[in-house]
Amino acid sequence: MTVAPALKRLILGVLLLVLGAALFVATAIAIFPARLVEEWVKEAAAARTGLTIDSDPFHRSPPLGIGATRLAIRRGDAELFTIDRLSVRLLPLSLLSGAAAAAVEGYAAGGAIGGTVSLRPGGLAADLAISGLDLHAVGAARAAGIELGGKADGAIDVSIGADGCPSGTVTLDIDGLDVKGLDIAGFALPLSDVESAGLRGFFEEGCRFVVEGLWLEQRDLSARVEGVVTIRRPYVDSPVSLTLELTPRGALVENGGLALLLGLYRKSANFYSIPIGGTIGRPVVGGR
């Protein structure tokens, strides 16, 4: 007869302890200086990715949030991408499950980025959605002499374990893709009026990202990239082992220029398979 009251007191004590810990963490985050958060984020980005972040000073975003504007992500002097506005807000109830989750809301290039990021003893998880992102604002392409157009929608559902290796999936669909300045072996690829384009991929053991398909379909050309990227730090040094498959049609077949320049990679009358090696930062088309 005395067990039940004792058990109730134990359960109540545990709940109060958990709630107290959650309240303590939430309070600590609420009073934690935004400047220190900014320093940690920028130092972690540089150490893990080799990229630098420039921005206006981070600021408080009540309740229990941190905000930032004009976050420019750079590699050296080249600006890769800019996030106009970003806020990260703690979800206090997540602390009851042993994780610290935050709602993420950002705006960039006319589009939106939103979802949740959670931190637990086993690692980090992110479940984010991208909508209406204007590819013209992707500085990484401009730095390579390529001009992009179109709108991108996608999803990132990724977890990073204690070993630093990710797992999960990445999807991307692009509407109205237009590419200028892209050439292979000196042959300019006409990539306007693209009917469909996108990316499907997943992370597997060994810190490898499997590109199931990076594709585009256009009246005169079908192009598809498949293969593996082995994740390294900094990420720009990650080696790639990819294959670019091209199927020209119409005018591209008639002018014969593609067959002349890419004859080494020709597998059939109008099918080409081109290896891509090197790294993310320095890809080598035509070699491993």
* C-beta separation of 257 from 185 below 8 A: no
In a domain, 275, yes or no: yes
**Predicted confidence (pLDDT) per residue in 36-51, tens digit:** 777 877 887 777 666 7
The predicted structure's pLDDT at residue 87? 87
In a domain, 3, yes or no: no
In a domain, 243, yes or no: yes
Of the ranges 59-63, 100-104, 125-129, the best mean pLDDT one: 125-129
Per-residue burial over 123-132, b if 16 or more Cβ lie within 10 Å, else e, is bbbbbbebee
Predicted TM-score of the model (pTM): 0.74
In a domain, 134, yes or no: no
Rounded distance between C-alpha atoms, residue 144 and residue 133, angstroms: 20
In a domain, 101, yes or no: no
In a domain, 199, yes or no: yes
In a domain, 228, yes or no: yes
**Predicted confidence (pLDDT) per residue in 245-272, tens digit:** 988 887 776 666 666 677 788 888 788 8
Supply the range of the domain harboring residue 221.
194-288
Burial of residue 246, with CB atoms counted within 10 A of its CB: 0-12 exposed, 13-18 middle, 19 or more buried: buried
In a domain, 74, yes or no: no
Average pLDDT of span 49-71 = 80
* C-beta separation of 85 from 112 below 8 A: no
CB proximity list for 160: less than 8 A, separation 6 or greater: 123, 124, 125, 166, 167
Number of domains comprising the chain: 1
